[in-house]
Structure formats: C-alpha cells, structure tokens
Amino acid sequence: MMLFEASKKRMLWDMHGAILGSLGCCSTQLLLVVIIKNIAAVPRPDFLTRCQPDYLTIPVSGSLYTVDFCQNPDESLINDGFKSFPSGHSSTVFASQTFLVLFLIGKIKMSGSSYFSWKLVLSIMYPLIISFKVSFSRVSDHRHRVRDVLMGDLIGICFGTLFYFIYFTNPFNGTPSLAFPPRKFEVDENSDGFFGLKVSTYDIDSKEIPYTESVDDGNNPLFAKSFSPLCYSTVPMKLKHTVNNRQNRPISNPISSLFYM
C-alpha cells in the first residue's frame, strides 16, 4: 500500500510538471512570435484580398503605397494581414507536440521486443504528423508562406525542448524520465551574480537519496499499464529512482516530501 501511494504521488508530480511545462512552452513561444510578427510586419499572401484596393485608380508606376489605398473598412482585418512571419499556428502546435514526444520517449522504453519499438515509434510519429498537417495547412489556406511555417516550426521545437528539460530529466539516458523536485531562487548577498540571484544552494545533482519501489499489476495497475508493458508480469519489478529533496536533510519518503513541505 505504501509503495502504491508513492508511485501515485510520483505520477501526480510528473503530471504537474507536464502541465506546467506544456503551458509554459506554448505561452512563451507565442509571446516571442507575436513580438516578431509586429516588428517584421510581413504581408500575408492574401493581403490584397483583405485590402480590396481599387485597381483602376492605382497608378502603375512601381511606387510604394500605404494602407490608405485599401477600400476595406475593416481595419483590424487589414492589420492582421501584416502578421505573416512567423506562423503562430505552426510554432504553437510544434511546441506542444515536441514536449509531448519527449514526454512519451521518457516514459516508454525500448527493448528487444518489437512490441515496444512500434509503440514508441507510433507515439513519436503521430504527434509529428499532426504538427506537419496543421502547420502546412496554413500554406494551403494562403495565410502563410513556406518560410513562415518553417520558422514557426523551428521556434516551436526549440521552446518545446527547452521547457521539457527545465521540468524533466534527460529522456535519452535509458532510465525513466522524472519531473524535477521543487526548486527555488534566492538572493545571496555574497554572490557576484546578476542582481545577486541564484538557484537554491542545494545542487540538483547533490544530496541524492536513492530508493526502490515495487510496481506490478497488483499494487499499481494504472502506472504499470500506462508506462511499462513489462509490468504485465505477475512478478514485481524493481524500479530504481534517484530523487533530490533539495533540503539537505534525510527523508524516508522522497515523493511525500514533494507534496508535504
């Protein structure tokens, strides 16, 4: 029962980190995209349709024009026509799906069995297919050019990867990727850093307390069937975890300390 509660709290803490990370990457990349859109002010491919100019009164002299020649009274529609670069839809969908792919890689582990390989490949390919479908549909809708979509994809991938590694451990080291324990910033008067700010004096790689939890169909079926098909066996499987409680004090249950501090 105690092992079940520990695994349940670990799942809740990982879910908490996943929600914060996904919302953080989407909101932060969207802020950057909006700033670039307003600075670059690149016209959309359908700008002339939005503008509805009177072609008979416009002199064909190669001169530059302002939006004053537009006949469309909807000013907001015209202003939105100058926000082509980069694509906000592409950056948002790639940020969220990149975070999801890394999360699935960290939870679904490869082995010699083909069951694991196709499961992992499907978990990676499905979000990426959705991302490319959404992003390049903006080209077919004449809302963006290919370069706008590609730049949005790059921004989304960068922010999705960045925020995953902020909240979770490395998913490519062969062990289950876990959410980091709580961290805090503090002011150190003796520090020469920027404004004297630094991360808590407890190093995230020090004061590590290893513990082992038993997971099988009997004591934790939800965790077992969600993340590791190996747990379908009736033989309990020992999973090795390392958790830093960041408090420089011994604890008997590292997971409990994450929720009851």
User: For the residues 125-129, what does the mean pLDDT come to?
Assistant: 87
Is 108 within the bounds of a domain? yes
Q: Answer with the residue of higher pLDDT: 64 or 25.
A: 25
204 is a domain residue: no
Distance of CA 91 to the CA centre of its chain: 11
* pLDDT over 90 (residue 249): no
Catalytic residue selected from 16, 142, 144, 241: 144
Residue 244: both structure tokens together = 């830093």
- Give me the chain's average pLDDT, please: 71
Chain centroid offset of residue 115 CA? 27
How crowded is the C-beta side of 150, counted as CA atoms within 13 Å? 3
Q: For residue 202, is it within any domain?
A: no
What pLDDT was estimated at residue 191?
53
161 or 55: whose pLDDT is higher? 161
Task: Identify the active-site residue in 16, 89, 142, 241.
Answer: 89
Question: Does the residue 183 lie in any domain?
Answer: no
Return the structure tokens found at 187. 């002011």
139 lies in some domain: yes
Domain assignment present for residue 186? The answer is: no
- Taking each continuous run of H as one helix and of E as one strand, the counts in the chain are 8, 4
Structural domain boundaries enclosing 74? 22-167
Q: How far apart are CA 241 and CA 251, in angstroms?
A: 14
Residue 121 in domain? yes
Residue 225 confidence (pLDDT) above 60: no
Is residue 187 scored above 60 in pLDDT?
A: no
pLDDT digits (tens, 9 = 90+) for 63-79: 777 777 888 888 888 88
pLDDT above 90 covers a percentage of the chain that reads 19
> Residue 88 above 60 pLDDT?
yes
Does residue 172 carry a pLDDT above 70? yes
**What is the number of domains present in the chain?**
1
- Residue 3 lies inside a defined structural domain of this protein: no
Residue of higher predicted confidence among 86 and 227: 86
Residue 144 known to be catalytic:
yes
The reported pTM is 0.65
Report, as an integer, the average pLDDT of 15-28: 91
pLDDT for residue 46: 86
Between 126 and 31, the higher pLDDT residue: 31
Q: Average the pLDDT over each of 28-32, 84-88, 150-154, 186-190 and give the range with the smallest value.
A: 186-190
**239: three-class secondary structure by DSSP:** strand
